[in-house]
Amino acid sequence: MPTHSTRDIIVEKADALFYQGGFEATSFADIAAAVGISRGNFYHHFKTKDDILDAVIARRMERTRAMLDAWQDASEGPRERIVCFIRILITNRTSIMAYGCPVGTLCSELAKLDHAAQGRAADIFGLFRDWLTAQFRALGAADRAGALALHLLAWSQGVAVLAAALRDEAFIHAEVAGIEHWLASHPDLSQPT
């Protein structure tokens, strides 16, 4: 029972390198060095670099789904669940200040490259949007739930972009406090049951 196959390790390392260095700037050689295998050996696991990207996106999809499911089970109410989402800005603040949001920066890069996988990358945003929409709906937002979900998603993305550009940790904390205040005092939302 292997804990991790070579293929899994490649995807794991590629995921981190794509995040920290970007997809285009990360070469086969970089990934091979990180995994500890020879460059030519890649062809046995992935035919093209785009195949690795697809696997990385699929991995991120899975992990995002798992994270959302965990929040769904661990928190009592929708408001607490949304706070879980907001708090990833705090939890991951160090890497966010260094590399931005993994989803947002990947989508931005793939858009510029006009890459075929940009739709699949954007689907990760779709997971968050749908999950947040369900939470806002549970809070009584009704037909405004989708717009509120997108708004919160955009807010967190903006915080990530600016925190990375300005390397400002205090700004992250201030904005997270602002988001939580907005969530607690939003007039459109009834109190949780």
Partner DNA sequence: GACGCGATAGGACAACTGTCCTAATCTCAC
Partner DNA sequence: GTGAGATTAGGACAGTTGTCCTATCGCGTC
* Residues engaged in binding DNA (CB under 7 A): 5-6, 26-30, 36-45, 47-50
Listing DSSP states for 75-114 in one string gives -SSHHHHHHHHHHHHHHTHHHHHHH--HHHHHHHHHHHHT
Selection from a second copy, DNA, none that 44 binds (CB < 5 to 8 A by kind) is DNA
Q: Which is nearer to DNA, 20 or 48 (CB)?
A: 48
Write out the binding residues for a second copy, residues 155-184 only, by CB under 8 A.
155-159, 161-162, 164-168, 171, 174-175, 178
Look at residue 182 and give the partner it binds from a second copy, DNA, none, a contact being a CB closer than 5 to 8 Å depending on partner kind. Answer: none
> What distance, in Å, lies between the first and last C-alpha atoms of the chain?
46
| CA 45 to chain centroid | 25
Out of a second copy, DNA, none, what residue 41 binds, judged by CB under 5 to 8 A for its kind, is DNA
Task: Note whether 157 and 101 are within 8 A (CB).
Answer: yes
Q: Shortest gap between Cβ of 67 and a second copy (angstroms)? A: 19
Partner interacting with residue 28 (select from a second copy, DNA, none; CB below 5-8 Å by kind): DNA
Residue 66 CB-density burial (10 A; 0-12 exposed, 13-18 middle, 19+ buried): exposed
Cβ within 8 Å of residue 56, ≥6 positions away: 11, 14, 15, 18
| Residue numbers 40-79 binding a second copy by CB under 8 A | none
List residues near a second copy by CB under 8 A: 20-22, 24-25, 98-100, 103-105, 107-109, 111-113, 118, 121-122, 125, 147, 150-151, 153-159, 161-162, 164-168, 171, 174-175, 178
